[in-house]
Amino acid sequence: MTSTSPQTTPLPTEMPPPALTVSRLTKSYAGRRVVDDISLTVPRGWIFGLLGPNGAGKTTTIEMCEGLRRPDAGTIDVLGMDPQRLCEKDRNRLGIVAQSGSERASLTVREMVAQYAAYCEDPWDVTELLAATGLAEKAASRIATLSGGQRRRLDVALGIVAQPELVFLDEPTTGFDPAARREFWELVRSLRDLGTTIVLTSHYLDEIEYLADSVAVIRAGRIVAEGTLSQIHRTHGDSATVSWTGPDGPQRRTVPDPDPLLRELLAAHPHLPDLEVRRPSLEEIYLDLVSEESR
């Protein structure tokens, strides 16, 4: 080390800027608010899950981030770019896997992937990509002969062929059988291991639970919970159902905090053999968050 070396290395504690920042995003169709004041931050290298029932506004949010729809209000920053002003070159950095395409199918799988690879600056090797997406055996088949799961994997292959930094996956496993879903999940994880940031929408809790590092639960265009799933479990799962058998028969009470009730019960009854305290499961919390009646 010499004293003349330039000191331009950033401090190791400095966080890289997030891959995606969405702030106060709003979009209406025909007077109906489909996306209502949504803000999100997705750190680089994470799998971020956008979880919610059908029609909650997931796809609209994603499409605004992709630059396919113009927000009514709010700002979006994807990889430091404005999605409304992406040039063709910028598209190399974004991968988009929309809800399934249904292209005219006289091309083979390899020709289709090679076509999209030809548009990219630094694409995947086509053979490698076909192997990674489990399409190697189907390379010479026409697209029309693919099954639903294979078709979806082709969608993914076309979405990531540019080796993008950020990939949007919109409900990627709808219509998959359980084995195909597992395989697909491994594919998504391997992408993350390559350093790709992934924004995933789904209405399957198990998918998000398995894949996502962080989640936003969205209902009727609003975020109703966010964080890691265990954080959501903790913050929204405080209430507990206490049940026991007293002198008047079986009792059951749901309270925000069970401690005072338990102390009271144990003080009054020295022996409570079937006392039970139950906290809601993640699935119950999710269903409660997205159900219409709970708001």
Binding site for another protein (CB under 8 A): 59-60, 66-68, 88-89, 91-92, 94, 96, 98-99, 101-104, 106-107, 111, 115-116, 118-121, 158, 162
The smaller minimum CB distance to another protein, of residues 98 and 180, is found at 98
Tokens 């391997």 belong to residue? 190
CB of 200 to another protein, least distance (A): 17
Count CA within 13 A, CB hemisphere, residue 222: 9
CB of 166 to another protein, least distance (A): 12
CB of 161 to another protein, least distance (A): 8
Rg from Cα positions in the chain: 24
The smaller minimum CB distance to another protein, of residues 134 and 164, is found at 164
The smaller minimum CB distance to another protein, of residues 15 and 140, is found at 140
DSSP codes joined into one string, 188-244:
HHHHHHTT-EEEEEES-HHHHHHH-SEEEEEETTEEEEEE-HHHHHHHH---EEEEE
Of 89, 88, 64, the C-alpha closest to 78 is 64
CB of 176 to another protein, least distance (A): 20
CB of 208 to another protein, least distance (A): 21
Rounded to whole angstroms, what are the CA distances from 146 to 107, 114, 279? Answer: 12, 17, 45
Say if CB 167 and CB 199 are below 8 A apart: yes
For strands 166-170 and 197-202, give the pairing. parallel
The smaller minimum CB distance to another protein, of residues 175 and 246, is found at 175
The smaller minimum CB distance to another protein, of residues 98 and 229, is found at 98
Euclidean distance between CA atoms 228 and 243, whole angstroms: 30
The smaller minimum CB distance to another protein, of residues 118 and 131, is found at 118
Which amino acid type is present at position 234? R
Buried b (16+ CB within 10 A) or exposed e, 132-161: bbbbeebbeeebeebeebbbbbbbbbbbbb
Give the H or E element holding residue 246. strand 240-246
Q: Which tokens in the block code for residue 28?
A: 């209406």
CB of 92 to another protein, least distance (A): 5
CB of 66 to another protein, least distance (A): 6
The smaller minimum CB distance to another protein, of residues 173 and 214, is found at 173
Collect contacts of 79-82 with beta carbons under 8 A, ≥24 apart: 79/19, 79/20, 79/165, 79/166, 80/17
CB of 150 to another protein, least distance (A): 17
Our separate counts of H helices and E strands in the chain read 9, 12
The smaller minimum CB distance to another protein, of residues 103 and 137, is found at 103
